[in-house]
């Protein structure tokens, strides 16, 4: 039997959905408007930190601090725009052939500085030899890059994070398995939400905008796949990306 409160619940859901759409549009618009002035600021700062001008040590440190925070702001804007475009499916897929093992090695190479700074090492575990996969190489590379960045932030220093892949029936699976502190049960369902960050250690400093896993999730869905996470028996987490097989040879 329907109650009088049911129409109110429907109206409430519609209102909440409309509000979320409006907020998403506003955030995407703001990010787009910030992109150009931030690029101009970055260009000016790069000139200041070059050898063309000389500053005192204190001034030089201050300029470097401004530079680092500008870089973070630019990355935040880029992640917001990428998240918005991925969720709206506005990104054009560019299909090509690539080798999964080679892709994983490139991911590790691109994120080498971040992992070294945290004292986290990465190891690529070989899958089937000479296997080629057809898909969007650049978006898959960016997706896996976010997972490696996440591991570099949260894995325990001195440990090894393993990257692997395997082909399955009509799908290819990429995995990033760390030896970090793991994720509390109450946070597990929220880690893919934008701006959600859970500090696992009292002495752990989290650097980032809280968008990495949200963007990775959106990219996985855009590619027709899914991103999930499970606890490791020995501690830490394994993030798994399952993507549909267009062609494997």
Give CA–CA dist 57/63, Å, rounded: 10
At residue 140, the pLDDT reads 95
At residue 15, the pLDDT reads 43
Which two three-digit tokens encode residue 106? 């490139």
Q: What percent of the chain has pLDDT over 70?
A: 70
* Residue 246, pLDDT above cutoff 70: no
At residue 174, the pLDDT reads 95
Q: Report the pLDDT averaged over residues 111-135.
A: 74
Q: Tell me the pLDDT tens digit for each residue of 164-219.
A: 998 877 889 999 999 888 787 777 778 888 877 665 544 454 555 678 899 999 99
DSSP 4-65: THHHHHHHHHHHHHHHHHHHHHHHHHHHHHHHHHHHHHHHHHHHHTSTTS---HHHHHHHHH
- Give residue 146's pLDDT band: very low, low, confident or very high (50, 70, 90): very high
Which two three-digit tokens encode residue 198? 């859970």
Q: Which residue has the higher pLDDT, 120 or 228?
A: 228
- Give residue 225's pLDDT band: very low, low, confident or very high (50, 70, 90): very high
The residues facing 95 across adjacent strands are 136
* Residue 153, pLDDT above cutoff 80: yes
Please state whether beta strands 160-168 and 171-177 pair in parallel, antiparallel, or not at all (unpaired): antiparallel
User: Among 211, 219, 74, which Cα is nearest to 139's?
Assistant: 219
At residue 33, the pLDDT reads 65
At residue 41, the pLDDT reads 73
Q: Report the pLDDT averaged over residues 227-233.
A: 91
Q: What are phi and psi of 125, to 5 degrees?
A: -95, 125
Q: Which residue has the higher pLDDT, 80 or 239?
A: 239
At residue 50, the pLDDT reads 67
- H or E element, residue 133: strand 133-136
Which ranges of the chain would DSSP assign to H, the alpha helix? 5-48, 57-87, 100-110, 112-118, 137-154, 185-188, 212-222
pTM as predicted: 0.75
Q: Which residue has the higher pLDDT, 102 or 32?
A: 102
At residue 17, the pLDDT reads 44
Q: Tell me the pLDDT tens digit for each residue of 49-92.
A: 665 556 667 777 777 788 877 777 778 888 888 888 898 888 99
């Amino acid at each position: 039997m329907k109650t009088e409160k049911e129409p109110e619940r429907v109206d409430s859901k519609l209102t909440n959905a409309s509000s979320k759409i409006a907020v998403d549009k506003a955030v995407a618009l703001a990010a787009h408007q910030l992109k150009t002035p931030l690029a101009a600021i970055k260009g000016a700062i790069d000139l200041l930190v070059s050898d063309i001008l000389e500053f005192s040590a204190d001034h030089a440190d201050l300029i470097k601090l401004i530079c680092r925070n500008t870089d973070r702001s630019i990355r935040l804007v880029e992640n917001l725009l990428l998240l918005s475009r991925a969720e709206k499916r506005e990104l054009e897929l560019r299909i090509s052939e690539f080798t999964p093992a080679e892709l994983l090695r490139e991911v590790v190479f691109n994120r080498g500085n971040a992992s070294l700074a945290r004292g986290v090492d990465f190891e690529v575990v070989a899958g089937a030899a000479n296997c080629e996969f057809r898909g969007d190489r650049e978006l898959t590379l960016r997706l896996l890059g976010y997972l490696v960045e996440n591991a570099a932030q949260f894995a325990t220093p001195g440990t090894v994070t393993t990257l692997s892949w395997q082909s399955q029936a009509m799908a290819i699976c990429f995995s990033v398995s760390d030896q970090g502190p793991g994720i509390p049960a109450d946070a597990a369902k929220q880690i893919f939400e934008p701006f959600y960050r859970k500090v696992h250690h009292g002495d752990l400093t989290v650097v980032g905008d809280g968008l990495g896993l949200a963007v990775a999730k959106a990219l996985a869905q855009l590619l027709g796949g899914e991103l999930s996470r499970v606890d490791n028996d020995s501690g830490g987490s394994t993030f798994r990306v399952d993507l549909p097989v267009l062609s494997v040879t």
